[in-house]
Amino acid sequence: MLILSRRPNESLRIGTNVVITVVGFSGNQIRLGICAPPNVVIDREEVHLRKIAESIPTLSPAALPAVATPRVRTTRRRPEVRRRSLLQGK
């Protein structure tokens, strides 16, 4: 990873046609201006990861092979009974 220090209104260039300029900062956030051609996709990391996750097709049960799955033994929980405390106000 390349780490660069830039001050407001200073830029860095990626390749020949992408320019990133530090527009300003406030507290622990920094504002960046990005100038790139329209064919370059610019996403925040969390948006990019969500797009990747949405592009993976989910498997439907019909698409899964017919394999006998072992039964898992589960225990039933009794529903909790809420009791009003005598000290609690109404």
pLDDT single digits (tens) 19-40 = 999 999 888 999 999 999 999 9
27 lies in a domain?
yes
Dist CA 49 CA 14 (whole Å): 22
Dist CA 31 CA 34 (whole Å): 10
Local confidence pLDDT in tens for the 90 residues of the chain: 889 999 999 999 999 999 999 999 888 999 999 999 999 999 999 999 998 888 876 655 555 555 555 555 556 665 555 555 555 554
Dist CA 31 CA 40 (whole Å): 19
Per the structure, the complete domain to which residue 46 belongs is given by 11-55
48 lies in a domain?
yes
62 lies in a domain?
no
**pTM over 0.75, yes/no:** no
% residues pLDDT > 70 (the chain): 62
79 lies in a domain?
no
Number of domains in the chain: 1
23 lies in a domain?
yes
3 lies in a domain?
no
51 lies in a domain?
yes
34 lies in a domain?
yes
